[in-house]
Amino acid sequence: MNRQLHVISTGQQSKEEFGRIASTIHEYVDGFHLREKKWTAKELVAAIQSLSEQGVPLEKIIVNDRGDVAHSMKTGGVQLAHHSMDASLVKKAFPALQIGCSVHSLAEAMGAEKKGANRLLYGHIFSTASKPGVPPRGLRELGEIVQNVTIPVFAIGGITPGNVEEVLATGVEGIAVLSGILKANDPLEAVLEYRKKMKGEG
């Protein structure tokens, strides 16, 4: 099975900086989540246009929270968080939109599937500076979620090339990474290292 690798934007990089990295690594990445809470809808649209002009396929772009922007720009989907509109409402408004839901428990995962989510993101698995102050959830519940839903599940949080093998062993569809790639000195080298480990090489 070819596992997927998603990259989550940091909320700290400029549109230009993120675009430079994304255009360099997109061939090896299945999804880019624009998780930019401070950007307006207009700024998100401009970033998506710019990514597309730099060769990043629209279907690889996932817009956090804003189903309207994702739908209007024909991106690969939306990623809904706790604070977002309910998945069932988004589904009703934009029936063709791929909806990802961020979940933090088995109950939330099953609820999101019922509401029409097309994929789930569960975390954080390991402790990570990207989620300070919240204890990591580990792999046990991740495995339970994979067993109890029929939609693809992604794992996030503290995932490195060193632990990717045990994460994939739970049966997840893929992993999502923020700092391990976007904060690496050489993001392309980092992506290739993740890919190597995901294929069980090296």
Ligand X SMILES: Cc1nc(C(=O)O)sc1CCOP(=O)(O)O
Q: Which of 6, 26, 33, 124 is catalytic?
A: 124
CA distance 91 to 88: 5
| 197 binding ligand X? (CB under 6 A) | no
| 178 binding ligand X? (CB under 6 A) | yes
Residue from 180, 191, 194, 198 touching ligand X (CB under 6 A): that is 180
Q: Which span (49-57, 85-93, 153-161, 192-200) binds ligand X, by CB under 6 A?
A: 153-161
CA distance 7 to 102: 14
CA distance 200 to 94: 38
3-state secondary structure of 188: helix
| 83 has catalytic annotation | no
For ligand X, the closer of residues 116 and 123 by Cβ is 123
* Residues ≥6 apart with Cβ < 8 Å to 31: 4, 5, 6, 7, 60, 61, 62, 76, 176
Shortest Å distance, C-beta 184 to ligand X: 10
For ligand X, the closer of residues 90 and 176 by Cβ is 176
| 84 binding ligand X? (CB under 6 A) | no
62 pairs with which residues across the strands? Answer: 33, 77
- Site for ligand X, rule CB under 6 A: 8, 35, 102, 123-124, 128, 130-131, 156-159, 177-180
